[in-house]
């Protein structure tokens, strides 16, 4: 069994000049170019089989289970892994790209969020910025540090929403409270954040108290569907949250935003979207890996579906900004920072979870660079007086 598999490895990749060497379970080494940059180790025969018939999802699973391993940084390995897989029509491979419709029960959503976020605050602190903003940063030149770019993102959102002192502001899926605190401190709003992560809830409120902002900022441990009231907020932001909602629940989600928003209010949905018009999952097996290990029951709608459902809920879409390349750079920063702290991160997460995060961050950076997935900020208003627009005539106000 061993020799045919080794021959298959050599014949499959021969002549493709891939800058890697494959180290087999028996110690044999197959160089795929004259100057290999990294070693990819098949630790087990399952790992060798994954390399003999590769797809990104299968290789990622093999790495998570320690059937394969590699030297070098995960970002570089992902590029080489794509070369191993070869040319596939990304996002439209019908063997893996299929519509998924899940019913997201509130209990299921809470479990899904906690699976992803309740790892360890210390783990996230190692590779996020100083404010622990776990969403796409905003780059003006591309040369900013991740700390600078995340502060620019927080301010970009606040300026888009035209936050003013005394306004009631809601942040749906608020993470560790960075936007809530920025809006309360810099713009003087009464800011409320909601999250389903117990770790995020505890640390966010601890930070609010430490900054002396408890008179204008609060973070609640609450599902968005359980938030009561009508017309109780002047401005609403949702940043990196609606990926967890599910396609079937988009009407409920945007309907809730419409219900909470006062007439003439402004809302912004910042979230990942599919490049596939039918909102199908990422191909090459990557979608299945993300579903199993990272975001259980996560679904990405196409932008056209987002606009349709916002309009159906009574929200008038006014502006759309695509941040795909911003997120590619953000994820690259995160991946590099994690790679620089592997031993410390392993102590907080364990080896298997660290392997998941190495693949996930590097793979997502790769996916955004390749335009396999994208992200938009969609700005909308709840109509009040039809003769008045709560936004200025041009976008100049965002950049002053």
Task: Taking the CA atoms of 390, 394, 396 and 399 in sequence, report the sign of the dihedral they define.
Answer: positive
In the three-class reduction of DSSP (H, G, I as helix; E, B as strand; rest coil), residue 215 is classed as coil
Contact status, residue 175 vs residue 132, Cβ threshold 8 Å: yes
CA 28 to chain centre: 39
As a whole number of angstroms, the distance between CA 313 and CA 165 comes to 28
As a whole number of angstroms, the distance between CA 257 and CA 161 comes to 14
Backbone dihedral angles phi then psi of residue 211, each to the nearest 5 degrees: -85, 0
Residue located via tokens 């940043």: 239
Contact status, residue 220 vs residue 250, Cβ threshold 8 Å: no
Residue located via tokens 């990304």: 90
Contact status, residue 16 vs residue 54, Cβ threshold 8 Å: no
In the three-class reduction of DSSP (H, G, I as helix; E, B as strand; rest coil), residue 174 is classed as coil
**The tokens of 132 are what?**
């622990």
As a whole number of angstroms, the distance between CA 146 and CA 365 comes to 14
Per annotation, catalytic residue among 136, 174, 217, 364: 364
The bridge status of strand 373-381 relative to strand 261-274 is: antiparallel
* C-alpha closest to that of 229 among 254, 273, 260, 256: 260
Task: Taking the CA atoms of 26, 30, 36 and 40 in sequence, report the sign of the dihedral they define.
Answer: negative
Rg (CA), the chain: 22
> In which order are the strands placed within the sheet that holds 20-23?
29-31, 20-23, 38-42, 68-70
The bridge status of strand 261-274 relative to strand 190-195 is: unpaired
Q: Is 158 a catalytic residue?
A: no
Catalytic annotation, residues:
364
């Amino acid at each position: 069994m061993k020799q045919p598999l080794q021959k298959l490895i050599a014949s499959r990749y021969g002549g493709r000049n891939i800058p890697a060497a494959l180290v087999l379970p028996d110690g044999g080494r197959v160089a795929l170019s004259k100057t290999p940059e990294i070693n990819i180790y098949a630790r087990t025969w399952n790992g060798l089989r994954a390399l003999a018939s590769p797809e990104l999802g299968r290789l990622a699973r093999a790495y998570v289970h320690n059937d394969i391993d590699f030297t070098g940084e995960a970002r570089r390995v992902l590029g080489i892994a794509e070369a191993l897989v070869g040319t596939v029509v990304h996002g439209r491979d019908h063997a893996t790209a299929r519509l998924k419709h899940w019913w997201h029960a509130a209990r299921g959503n809470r479990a899904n969020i906690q699976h992803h976020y309740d790892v360890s605050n210390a783990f996230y602190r190692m590779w996020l910025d100083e404010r622990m903003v776990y969403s796409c940063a905003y780059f003006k030149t591309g040369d900013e540090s991740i700390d600078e770019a995340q502060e620019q993102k927080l301010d970009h959102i606040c300026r888009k929403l035209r936050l003013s002192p005394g306004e009631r502001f809601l942040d749906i899926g608020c993470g560790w409270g960075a936007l809530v605190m920025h809006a309360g401190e810099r713009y003087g709003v009464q800011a409320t954040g909601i999250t389903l992560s117990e770790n995020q809830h505890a640390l966010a409120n601890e930070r609010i108290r430490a900054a002396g902002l408890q008179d204008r900022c609060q973070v609640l441990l609450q599902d968005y569907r359980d938030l009561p009231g009508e017309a109780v907020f002047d401005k609403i932001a949702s940043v990196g949250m609606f990926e967890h909602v599910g396609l079937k629940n988009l009407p409920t989600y945007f309907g809730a935003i419409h219900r909470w928003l006062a007439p003439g209010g402004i809302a912004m949905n910042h979230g990942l979207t599919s490049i596939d018009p039918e909102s199908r999952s990422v191909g090459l097996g990557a979608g299945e890996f993300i579903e199993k290990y990272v975001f259980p029951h996560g679904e990405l709608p196409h932008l056209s579906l987002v606009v349709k459902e916002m309009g159906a809920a009574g929200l008038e879409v006014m502006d759309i900004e695509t941040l795909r390349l911003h997120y590619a750079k953000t994820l690259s920063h995160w991946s590099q920072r994690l790679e620089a702290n592997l031993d410390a991160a392993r102590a907080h997460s364990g080896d298997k979870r660290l392997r998941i995060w190495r693949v996930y961050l590097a793979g997502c950076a790769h996916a955004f660079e390749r335009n396999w997935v994208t992200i938009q900020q969609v700005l909308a208003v709840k109509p009040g007086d039809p003769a008045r627009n709560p936004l200025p005539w041009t976008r100049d106000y965002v950049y002053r």
